[in-house]
Amino acid sequence: MFDEQEDKVLFDRANLLKSEYVIRASGIVRKRENPNPNIPTGYYEVLVRDMEVLNESAPLPIQIIKQTEDSEEIRLKYRYLDLRRERMKNNIIMRNRINFEIRRFLNERGFIDIETPFLTKSTPEGARDFLVPSRINPGRFYALPQSPQIFKQLLMVAGFEKYFQIVKCFRDEDLRADRQPEFTQLDIEMSFVDENDIYELIDNLFFSILKNVYNIEITIPIPRMKYDEAMSRFGSDRPDLRFGMELNDITGIVKKFEPKDFIAEGIENGDVVYALVSPLSEKITRKYLDNLTIRAKDAGCRLFSWGKVQNGGISGPFKKLFGRDGIQTDIAGDNQAIIYSCMGELRTVQSFLGEIRLEIGKILDLAPKDRLNFIWITDFPLFEWSEDENKIVSVHHPFTSPKEDILNVEGDDVYRIKSRSYDLVLNGVELGGGSIRIHRADVQEKVFSILGLTKEEIDEKFGFLLEAFKYGAPPHGGIAFGLDRMVMMFQGEDSIREVIPFPKTASGICPLTGAPDEVSERQLDELGIKLKNN
């Protein structure tokens, strides 16, 4: 507060101050004559007697106090200004508090924080590697770790038993909304454990974070659900349990109501019919419903139809296909409702309706924003066929232990094997996942060979790990969480970029520094690299 009567010269100088000037001021602290209870400093003021301008500020490219909608490009270009905003600052401060609580909790339980290398060899987590050329070993490259997976397992072989690290990981993925090429993981590994030890540790870790940082008490143990059940009830391996609207297998009902020949044949050949039932609402438009039919086809489903159940009758395409008298009551009971039904291969149908369930949940605003619904998803398949890569891949990663003996399993039977892996899901978002690991060289070799690696490739890529397993490797298991995502969820943000101080845009660019950048001819020469299209 500058008082014109007290000091006219100082008052005039103060009038020249602009937004974000840095000043040093001294004066007398006093009660305000007209207190403002709406601001934290509303009861007191400083009557300034002396003031020095330490630095001026150019006109601001983005407003700091006023809420404005700035483009992401501008926000990231001037991130240091964006971070001055209250909300952003708070996110970063809360991130530190969460980190601190994690460290406190794990230290108390005897975990030790151990650093693992960034310049290393490929770690298979399903993405591409970022490569770093080695100048002093021409023609050779380091890979930045996609996760510390192999090193944390080696630390178990080394006898550390309880490891953790809050660590940067690097994954070169194609443009995907809300992914960052570098992100932070909370990485954990333990020896002589089974799944229950992991659940107990993590349940308590999340209890502590939410209690000590947010004063929220969650109920533990966190419930568990097997992958197959999650798929058949929610059509997703990361179900959002904040609302019901579960999928129903109506294959039996359809059969009972004597379906048309081609439907009966489909079922005969192994197709299933699933249905989702939502309340009637004007928000679900005819256009949306008709569009679902096209989308279902694109998703690989054989038949999709919707029908409106009103006053006991049914209308819409469903009526023509399945509408024998009374079928709607078997599916939707006595409710006024919309039935969405889908026929085809089990997982395709489940996944499609799972997607629609989430969409309709959003349209009808079914998920309460302030609810935290945690769930463990367990018993994933060990392998799956990847259409994109046209080969068999690990659902988690190749170090995951099978649930049963795998040494004698051959052919398509491998798809039936479940793994000892688990994901922790919060409100439909996967917070993290892990597994009990393979600790025997013969089992690990078998998994690699199922994944199509030759003996030479196994040796070249993972020989050092298999060798380590020969020297008394203890049984072990662990888990890792996406810390950015965790903070985002707890802070109620929609994007991980809101909780990372200096993130990249969705296309992997840093508008602040201009990275990634071109490098000089000399640097390339030193590395022995020649660009193709230069």
> Which parts of this chain interact with ligand ASP (CB under 6 A)?
125, 147, 149, 433-435, 478-480
Which residue type is seen at 297? K
Q: How far is the CB of 516 from ligand ASP (least distance, A)?
A: 24
Residue 209: alpha-carbon gap to chain centroid: 18
Phi, psi dihedral angles at 254 (to 5 degrees): -60, -40
Q: Which of 400, 403, 412, 413 is nearest to 447 (CA)?
A: 400
Q: How far is the CB of 491 from ligand ASP (least distance, A)?
A: 22
Of the two residues 198 and 314, which places its CB atom closer to ligand ASP in the complex? 198
Q: How far is the CB of 479 from ligand ASP (least distance, A)?
A: 5
Of the two residues 259 and 433, which places its CB atom closer to ligand ASP in the complex? 433
Of the two residues 149 and 328, which places its CB atom closer to ligand ASP in the complex? 149
Would you state the structure tokens that stand for residue 473, as one six-digit string?
Answer: 């490797």
Of the two residues 163 and 234, which places its CB atom closer to ligand ASP in the complex? 163
Residue 323: alpha-carbon gap to chain centroid: 41
Using CA atoms, how far apart are residues 230 and 437, in angstroms rounded to an integer?
Answer: 23
Q: How far is the CB of 483 from ligand ASP (least distance, A)?
A: 12
Question: If you search the block for the tokens 């490797």, which residue do you land on?
Answer: 473
Q: How far is the CB of 288 from ligand ASP (least distance, A)?
A: 35
Of the two residues 91 and 444, which places its CB atom closer to ligand ASP in the complex? 444
Of the two residues 169 and 337, which places its CB atom closer to ligand ASP in the complex? 169
Would you state the structure tokens that stand for residue 259, as one six-digit string?
Answer: 């379906």
Of the two residues 149 and 278, which places its CB atom closer to ligand ASP in the complex? 149
Q: Which of 515, 448, 525, 434 is nearest to 482 (CA)?
A: 434
CA angle, 451 then 454 then 455, to 5° = 120
Q: How far is the CB of 206 from ligand ASP (least distance, A)?
A: 16
Which residue type is seen at 478? G
Q: What is residue 141's three-state secondary structure?
A: strand
Q: How far is the CB of 382 from ligand ASP (least distance, A)?
A: 13
Question: If you search the block for the tokens 């040796």, which residue do you land on?
Answer: 459
Phi, psi dihedral angles at 184 (to 5 degrees): -110, 135
Contacts (Cβ under 8 Å, ≥6 apart) of 252: none
Of the two residues 171 and 504, which places its CB atom closer to ligand ASP in the complex? 171
Contacts (Cβ under 8 Å, ≥6 apart) of 349: 272, 273, 274, 301, 342, 343
Would you state the structure tokens that stand for residue 339, as one six-digit string?
Answer: 């039935």
Measured from the Cβ of residue 247, the count of other Cβ atoms closer than 10 Å reads: 24
Q: How far is the CB of 405 from ligand ASP (least distance, A)?
A: 21
